[in-house]
Structure 1
Amino acid sequence: MNLTSLLPILYGLGAAISWGAADFAGGLASRRSANALAVVFHAEWIGMVGVFAVASLSGQPSMSLTGWGFAMLAGAIGTIGLIVLYKAMAEGQMSIAAPVSALLAASLPVAFGSFSEGFPGWLTLFGFILALAAVWAISAGESGSLRPSIKGWKELQMPFLSGLGFGLYFILIHRAGQESNLWPLVGSRLGGMLMLLAYALIKRPSLRLARPVWSIVPVNAVLDVTANGLYILASQTGRLDVAAVLGSLYPGMTVLLAGLLLKERINRLQAFGILIALIAIGLITL
């Protein structure tokens, strides 16, 4: 395998590592502030200011109006998915919300990519299946069960909508990324900010953060922007479905960081998920 064919894999894995670390930082900030929405809001505008400065200094040409539309729509839909996921986790079983959302978020770009770019090879397809199984296992949470009790469709509605939002984000930001590397990140942040402002005006939530949390939120913002940028590069240099599946392995990084830094126990199911994720990466790379 030459460097050109390896680059999309490296970019996709880099996106997963950065997203996983960003989720760890965001989760830590949310735990310390007890205000997840405020963490998302402030990370969003910090990330937007930072990536706008980088894009402006880079001299990279801006996107067309269509590109801006796709990027802003991606940001708005992705933000809705995040809000719905937090609500689902707060009101239902976290062991249901996280894996269902993550599984759908990865599956949708796979279906779209297979339709738009052609069917992947059988080894790659088997790698996809293993990767999706890994996403489910790693995200299963503290219950350690592959089959958490699901009371009915109603309990799955919000995780389903959240995963749909994330999956559409993967597809839309890929389309915007065909015109530029950096400006789609600005557009998606802008779309996300507008959605959060609209939500804040309607719900009137508190957006205050405790002073100690302010040292964590910028880290979350930088890591999230980096992850999105690497995902765009992965989908530009390779297949959309490969980029989305590799990027969706981010829960493994979050779990590893929680185990290393917070001494949270990694259960057998999550450890098994990390193992099959490594096997999946090998198959996708072949």
Structure 2
Amino acid sequence: MVTVLALGAALSYGVADFLGGAVARRSTALKALLWCVPTGLVFVMIATLLTGGTPSVSSMAWGFGAGVAGGTGLITFYRALAQGPMSVVAPVSALTASLLPVGVGLLRGERLDTTVLLGVLLCLVAIGMVSMEENGEERQAATSWLDNGPVMAGLSGACFGVFFILLKEAGDGSGLWPLVAARTGNLVVILVAFLLLARLRPDTGPKVSGRLLIGLALLSGALDAGANALYFLAVQDGMLSLAAVLTSLYPAVTVLMARIAYSERLRAVQQIGLAMAAAGVALVTVG
């Protein structure tokens, strides 16, 4: 069940990131998130009320902390996606996001069966291979680290890794309420960042407009919220290291969608990485 839930989260995250990145490219990261995050909060709230559960102070605090980390990660990730290319940004972020939970899981004494461990290692290598790019390929000149796609991707990955870890701590039988707190934390960070940016720079860039762009933003927010829920259920049902690594396979979806929509070239090493990811998932499933 953990494998199915985590892979479902990976699929949802991958599609959500592609759609959100497409919106950010035509607007800005913060303006895209101002549509995506509230939408996700509404969906999570509805799901929470339907499934029941009683919130506790500790679970909501852990959830809110996870949301603050995740919100920071979303801002940096969407900015990285806007800098592009998607086929590099998403895997770099995912590799960083998966390494932190694996390290924490191992320190806590999590031990995987040999077959599952081999599958997890293959997935980690696969994420790294999918992130490889040729020197100078499709790289924009960066005037600062804020304009450097891979650097921002790595920073977003670290934030997502903290999000994965804290959300594991939030599960104490409170149902999906920790996710409500997490999405609230997302929204607080994004609103604060937007207000600060608006004060420092009145011209905050083009707005998200048009039915298509708004529709993509809303769908991205709904899918991201669904992915949060699937990961939360997976990590409460199993080990942090396993759930985080499988969830972090989402770049495979983003890369393939970017390949189709933007003709971003899939290099031989990335194709091998995708094949290794499939093999790793197969080993985890068998184990």
> TM class, shorter-chain normalised?
0.7 to 0.9
| Shift, 1:103, TM fit | 1.5
Instruction: Describe the shift of the 1:99–1:265 C-alpha distance in structure 2 as closer, same or farther (beyond 3 A).
Output: closer
How many aligned residue pairs are there? 272
Match of 1:221 in 2: 221
Q: Which structure 2 residues correspond to residues 255-266 of structure 1 after superposition, within 5 A?
A: 255-261=255-261, 263-266=263-266
Q: Which structure 2 residues correspond to residues 212-251 of structure 1 after superposition, within 5 A?
A: 212-251=212-251
Match of 2:6 in 1: 12
Q: Equivalent of 1:64, from 52, 56, 62?
A: 56
Pick which of 60-69 and 262-271 moved more. Answer: 262-271
Match of 1:3 in 2: none
Q: Distance in 2 between matches of 1:277 and 1:121?
A: 18
CA contact (8 A) 2:72 2:156 kept: yes
Pick which of 268-277 and 253-262 moved more. Answer: 253-262
- For structure 1, the residue ranges without an aligned partner over 5 or more in a row are 1-6
TM-score by length of 2: 0.84
Residue 208 in structure 1 maps to residue 201 in structure 2: no
Residue 190 in structure 1 maps to residue 184 in structure 2: yes
Q: 3-state SS of the aligned residue for 1:271?
A: helix
Instruction: Describe the shift of the 1:97–1:224 C-alpha distance in structure 2 as closer, same or farther (beyond 3 A).
Output: closer
Q: 3-state SS of the aligned residue for 1:63?
A: coil
| Shift, 1:125, TM fit | 2.2
| Shift, 1:86, TM fit | 4.1
Pick which of 168-177 and 242-251 moved more. Answer: 168-177
Match of 2:173 in 1: 179
Instruction: Describe the shift of the 1:207–1:161 C-alpha distance in structure 2 as closer, same or farther (beyond 3 A).
Output: same
Match of 1:114 in 2: 106
Instruction: Describe the shift of the 1:202–1:190 C-alpha distance in structure 2 as closer, same or farther (beyond 3 A).
Output: same
Pick which of 159-168 and 182-191 moved more. Answer: 159-168
CA contact (8 A) 1:41 1:207 kept: no
Q: Distance in 1 between matches of 2:168 and 2:96?
A: 17
Q: Which amino acid aligns with 1:44?
A: V
C-alpha deviations, 1:12-35, integer Å up to 9, x for none?
Answer: 11111111111111122223x232
Q: Distance in 2 between matches of 1:214 and 1:282?
A: 37
Q: 3-state SS of the aligned residue for 2:54?
A: coil
Q: Which amino acid aligns with 1:36?
A: A
CA contact (8 A) 2:86 2:258 kept: no
Match of 2:33 in 1: 40
C-alpha deviations, 1:147-206, integer Å up to 9, x for none?
Answer: x9xx9xx77764443222111100111221333342122111100101111111211135
CA contact (8 A) 2:86 2:255 kept: no
Q: Which structure 2 residues correspond to residues 92-171 of structure 1 after superposition, within 5 A?
A: 98-140=90-132, 143=134, 158-171=152-165
Q: Distance in 2 between matches of 1:164 and 1:195?
A: 16
Pick which of 236-245 and 207-216 moved more. Answer: 207-216
Instruction: Describe the shift of the 1:64–1:163 C-alpha distance in structure 2 as closer, same or farther (beyond 3 A).
Output: same
Seq. identity, %? 37
CA contact (8 A) 2:68 2:186 kept: yes
CA contact (8 A) 1:144 1:270 kept: no
Q: Distance in 1 between matches of 2:255 and 2:75?
A: 21
Q: 3-state SS of the aligned residue for 1:140?
A: coil
| Shift, 1:262, TM fit | 5.0
| Shift, 1:267, TM fit | 2.3
Instruction: Describe the shift of the 1:253–1:100 C-alpha distance in structure 2 as closer, same or farther (beyond 3 A).
Output: closer
Pick which of 73-82 and 207-216 moved more. Answer: 207-216
Q: Which amino acid aligns with 1:37?
A: L
TM-score by length of 1: 0.84
| Shift, 1:47, TM fit | 1.0
Q: Which amino acid aligns with 1:17?
A: L
